Structure 1
Amino acid sequence: MPFPILRTPFVVLTEIISLLEPEEIVTASFCSKNVHRLLKGHYQQRELLGWRIYLNDCDSCGQVTIGLEGEINWKAVLSVLQISELDESKAKPIETNEYKRGFSLGSLDLYFEDRVMGTKWIVDYVTDLFNLNVYGLIIDTNGIWAIDWINNRQENMLECFKFDKNPKYYPNAEKDLDYVLRNARASDFIVIEDIFPVNYRFSGILGPVNHLLISPNGHWVTLDNLMNFDCIKIVINGSRISVTDVDSFLRHWRAGGSHRMTYLKVNFETHRNFENLEEQWEMIEADDLSDEEEWDGGYSITRNDGAKAVIDFSNYYFVMTVLPPREII
């Protein structure tokens, strides 16, 4: 027997809606214009606690996902595919003037002739329904178009941006990579996980952003790049930066460069030897620390303004942490 949701008392209706998961809300909103209006009105009047909207455009599939703040498992609420991928033999889709609608894996799939137009449509639909901006953007080369589109459609900057792995090189790879690095904007996280051509070089500035992760191929990052990154915490994997480059970066930091940076970790592609640099650094013993945390030994350097940083390293990594959190007596 159908449930008369539109004739339910307001207090009860509010409780029912609050129990729904994001994908259930989106699916329900397609039932009728009245249900869509009801749900949209509900979220226009309430602040959603910790919900985050992400646009994922990878592997020629546009998808809007929603997750709670701090969660890593986001739920797909609406997806877009090229209409040529629709297999009508499995299930008869619902047709509208703009798209065909199917259902799989707990969420709606919409099929458009123009996949990019369809992806823009689902982003506008979900953000309007929940009264939220796009929080994060995850793309491969198929989704580069979304960088400028997102930046232009909302006043709030993205919180996180991820450029995902591409399976192979292609003729315009370097041009696309350069565009992404120059134009990606996010306030909290930028993650670059693409496979870069061996001889690729970047001459621009990346940031400002709180966290930057470059993995697994950070071989393209040069000393100049490192000094120009405007980031608080940086992690680079697969680096080819030399010991001499590390020394030059430390001199740059001592002179006041990279002033916002508080943490740097570089994992090297091949063996490094720091013996010649150790003489320049001040050895730290456990008794020199102002707290009682365990410490395996290391070194410190002092910036010209008196700020200190702790250094740890091996043949395959270099870590620099600006104090605090650990203070040296």
Structure 2
Amino acid sequence: MPFPILRTPFVVLSEIISLLEPNELVTTSFCSKNLTRLLKGHFRQRKPSQWKLFMLDYDFIGYVRIVKSTGPTTTAMMAKHISELAGVEHKPNELLFSAESPVMYFVDRVWGTKLIVDYVTDLFNLDVYGLYIDINGFWALDWINNRQKKMLGGIALAKNIKNDCYGDQIMCLLSDYVLRNGRFSDWLFIEDNFSDNFRFNGKLGPAGSLLISPSSHWVTIDNLMNFDFINMGIRGSRLSYSDLNSFLRHWRAGGSPRLACLQVKFEMDTEFEDFDEGLEVVETNEVRKYRVEAEWEDSDYEVQGGYSIQRMDGVKATINCDLREFLMVVWHTDRN
């Protein structure tokens, strides 16, 4: 016997909707125009404030994913190129339903990704919070900036599996474009996506967290001084001992005032000699804990001993260093 959902009282209906996952809600919305209007009306009265909507655009596929404060990440809808259905005759812009989520197949997959993002954001009354792209998805930055007033929470620039089809010059231009035009408030995650010839002379931030992994061969000491983040993780670094002395002088004089945690992991063993005398660094046996909360993970650091350094305004930091890692935690009174 069919369930009369359209004649269900609103209080009961809200409870039913709250039990469904985002992908189930999207699937339900395709049942009829009346159901679509019903769901839109629900989410305009009860906006899912604990949901974050992510757009993913890679060379071969587009996603809309929902992250809830409790529960796993859910793929709400997918866009694929029509060639994924090779060998079978299908209509352009065909909608199919999988066990995971609704999937639409397009001749123009970029246009299709725009369509599903528009559909899901309109259904749930949400802006795009996070953007995951490879080097082909730089178009999405301008598109999102033009379609919503709210700034992105974060951007993840992922490695492209077809990098071989680009020359170094094109890779450098596209990478530079992404870094200069990406607007975000909370975090930036950069995977190893740059050519050996890539150089960047701009600024990044202000924002909460930065992670460059697994290689940051392009990050110079000038870059590090121009990055404005609370937490920074730099992997596969080629910075030298003298570079980090320069950064400490920059910090001690008042540079990078928002920095709370800097972790640099080196590409090769890096010998640490004595710190510059002017830095007034002293050894310490103090043991303290610091928690880094970032979109990709939450990490607890226990800082055991090392060196203590004090900024001109009295703020202190602890430094730990060995052949493969440099860790600096700043003890802001309002954060630690």
Q: Tell me which residue corresponds to 1:79.
A: 78
TM-score, scaled to structure 2: 0.88
Q: Tell me which residue corresponds to 2:46.
A: 46
Deviates more, 1:58-67 or 1:98-107: 98-107
Which 5+ residue runs of structure 2 have no aligned equivalent? 290-300
Q: Tell me which residue corresponds to 1:177.
A: 175
Cα separation, 2, equivalents of 1:118 and 1:270:
44
- With over 3 angstroms needed to count, the CA separation of the structure-2 counterparts of 1:322 and 1:88, relative to structure 1, is same
CA deviations 1:186-218 (Å, max 9, x no partner) are: 111100003322232111111111100000110
- With over 3 angstroms needed to count, the CA separation of the structure-2 counterparts of 1:117 and 1:295, relative to structure 1, is closer
Residue 322 (structure 2) pairs with residue 314 (structure 1): yes
Cα separation, 2, equivalents of 1:216 and 1:327:
28
Contact 1:195 1:216 in 2 (8 A): no
Q: How many positions carry a matched residue from both structures?
A: 319
SS at match of 1:236: strand
Per-residue deviation, 1:327: 11
Cα separation, 2, equivalents of 1:259 and 1:87:
55
Q: Tell me which residue corresponds to 1:128.
A: 122
- With over 3 angstroms needed to count, the CA separation of the structure-2 counterparts of 1:5 and 1:46, relative to structure 1, is same
Which 5+ residue runs of structure 1 have no aligned equivalent? none
Cα separation, 2, equivalents of 1:36 and 1:294:
51
Cα separation, 1, equivalents of 2:148 and 2:214:
31
- With over 3 angstroms needed to count, the CA separation of the structure-2 counterparts of 1:62 and 1:288, relative to structure 1, is closer
Cα separation, 1, equivalents of 2:288 and 2:138:
50
SS at match of 1:297: strand
Compare the two structures and name the one with the higher strand fraction.
2
Cα separation, 1, equivalents of 2:15 and 2:111:
35
Contact 2:54 2:65 in 1 (8 A): yes
Cα separation, 1, equivalents of 2:70 and 2:57:
21
Q: How does 1:222-237 map to 2 (within 5 A)?
A: 222-237=220-235
Moved segments of 4+, more than 6 Å: 325-328
SS at match of 1:220: coil
Q: How does 1:162-311 map to 2 (within 5 A)?
A: 162-167=156-161, 168-169=163-164, 170-171=166-167, 172-277=170-275, 280-286=280-286, 296-311=304-319
Contact 1:262 1:322 in 2 (8 A): yes
Per-residue deviation, 1:106: 2.0
Q: Tell me which residue corresponds to 2:101.
A: 107
Per-residue deviation, 1:70: 6.7
- With over 3 angstroms needed to count, the CA separation of the structure-2 counterparts of 1:303 and 1:77, relative to structure 1, is same
Q: Tell me which residue corresponds to 1:20.
A: 20
CA deviations 1:152-178 (Å, max 9, x no partner) are: 211111112100112234221111111
Q: Which amino acid aligns with 1:124?
A: D
Q: Which amino acid aligns with 1:311?
A: I
SS at match of 2:78: strand
